Structure 1
Amino acid sequence: MNYREVSQDIINELGNTLRNINTEEVEQLIDKIQKAEKVFFVGVGRVLLSLKSIAKRFAHLGINCYIVGEITEPAITEKDLLIVGSGSGETAFPLIIAKKAKQFNATVAHIGANPQSSMREYADLFIKIPVSTKLQLPGEIPSIQPMTSLFEQSLLLLGDTIALMIIKDKDIDMHALWQYHANLE
């Protein structure tokens, strides 16, 4: 295989995955993001890297975002939203954090691939990215990529899609977003 073939295969997988995400679930998540006082993110590994990118982009839109465990993380309350990224919905740390968030009556949104996971006990909203997980469950969209790369890539693109939907919905001037960009560079 050559670069063009492999990159096109990845693009095709991403397109297929993003087309199969439920629009209504995404719109419900956007509504919860816009109503939340603060938005928290939790995940592990490469999923966490995607979530950090999403949090940064949302911060550019003026949304108060925090990564669970960061030194500047404030207290979560009933006015807040926790976004959990976990393909399998079985990863221990996000499960513990989701349970804790519910103890403070926060809203929990789970972005994952497994609607029957342990996370459903804590999630108020589930957004399905219909791809293969580490559990290799029936009905999952397979990927030619290693491990759960397609999930992490799709998660990042979902976050950017949500950001652009918010920009369009609020008719935000793209140039004005630079006021939220880091300037100690």
Structure 2
Amino acid sequence: MVNIDTYLKNCDIILRECNLALHGVNSKAVLQYIDMLLEADKVFFVGVGRVLLSLEAIAKRYAHLGINMFIVGQITEPAITEKDILVVGSGSGETFFPVGIARKAKNYGAKIVHIGSNPKSSLKEFTDLFIRIPVYSKINRADEVSSNQPMTSLFEQSLLLFGDVTAMMIIEEKEIELDKLWNYHANLE
């Protein structure tokens, strides 16, 4: 029977899994990622499904930090150049649309960051930086953090939290006062 104990038990499971996944990310890759974000003229994000939703939330938060962010396919998306980076969110690294966009962005000289769980994916040939969130995927590698959650929920959650963790790191790096971030928040709501 579903009750409050079930709710609390599942909270503990999800938080434990996210903690394991985020602690499994290579810290040197995280620092390189932040450097790339701060050096780029523009940062583009591409993903599909729930991964895209996580990426949109990350892009919004980074925009609050003064980073020039775009989601691939949005009507206001500008041209990508060699001064820009494309962040691809894909656990498997095999999803057709993100792989095709990465190939095209690479042809324009952009740097490619892949955040996923499969280091041997089709994206590997285009990727300048791979950030592995070592969670359960369709590939089912031995070193993956297993999950009691459905499908790839742990990847999507960990991706969103990765964005928040890196946003906090950028805030520290740029010495941004938290109260001043409201100046970048949407005000037509």
1:12 aligned to 6, 12, 16, which one? 16
1:52 aligned to 50, 56, 64, which one? 56
Give, in angstroms, the shift of residue 6 of structure 1: 1.0
In structure 2, the partner of 1:88 is 92
Write the distance in 1 (CA, Å) between the matches of 2:105 and 2:151.
Answer: 29
**Aligned pairs for 1:7-156 within 5 A:** 7-156=11-160
Give, in angstroms, the shift of residue 140 of structure 1: 1.8
**Which has the higher mean CA deviation after the structures are superposed, 16-25 or 1-10?**
1-10
Give, in angstroms, the shift of residue 170 of structure 1: 1.1
1:167 aligned to 167, 171, 175, which one? 171
Give, in angstroms, the shift of residue 139 of structure 1: 2.5
Q: CA RMSD in A?
A: 0.8
SS in 2 for 1:56: helix
Give, in angstroms, the shift of residue 22 of structure 1: 0.7
Write the distance in 2 (CA, Å) between the matches of 1:156 and 1:62.
Answer: 19
AA paired with 2:171? I
TM-score scaled by length of structure 1: 0.98
Task: Name segments (4+ residues, structure 1) moved above 3 Å.
Answer: none
**Which has the higher mean CA deviation after the structures are superposed, 49-58 or 133-142?**
133-142
Is contact 2:117-2:134 (8 Å) kept? yes
SS in 1 for 2:93: coil
SS in 2 for 1:63: coil
Give, in angstroms, the shift of residue 179 of structure 1: 0.7
Give, in angstroms, the shift of residue 134 of structure 1: 2.2
Write the distance in 1 (CA, Å) between the matches of 2:12 and 2:97.
Answer: 35
Deviations 1:36-80 (A, max 9, x none): 000000000000000000000000001000000000000000000
Give, in angstroms, the shift of residue 135 of structure 1: 2.7
Is contact 2:116-2:130 (8 Å) kept? yes
Mapped pair 1:182 → 2:186: yes
Is contact 2:111-2:127 (8 Å) kept? yes
AA paired with 2:72? V
Deviations 1:97-139 (A, max 9, x none): 0000000000000000000001001000000000011232333
Write the distance in 1 (CA, Å) between the matches of 2:157 and 2:103.
Answer: 26
Where does the alignment leave 5 or more consecutive residues of structure 2 unmatched? none
Give, in angstroms, the shift of residue 161 of structure 1: 0.5
Write the distance in 1 (CA, Å) between the matches of 2:151 and 2:88.
Answer: 19
Aligned residues: 185
Where does the alignment leave 5 or more consecutive residues of structure 1 unmatched? none
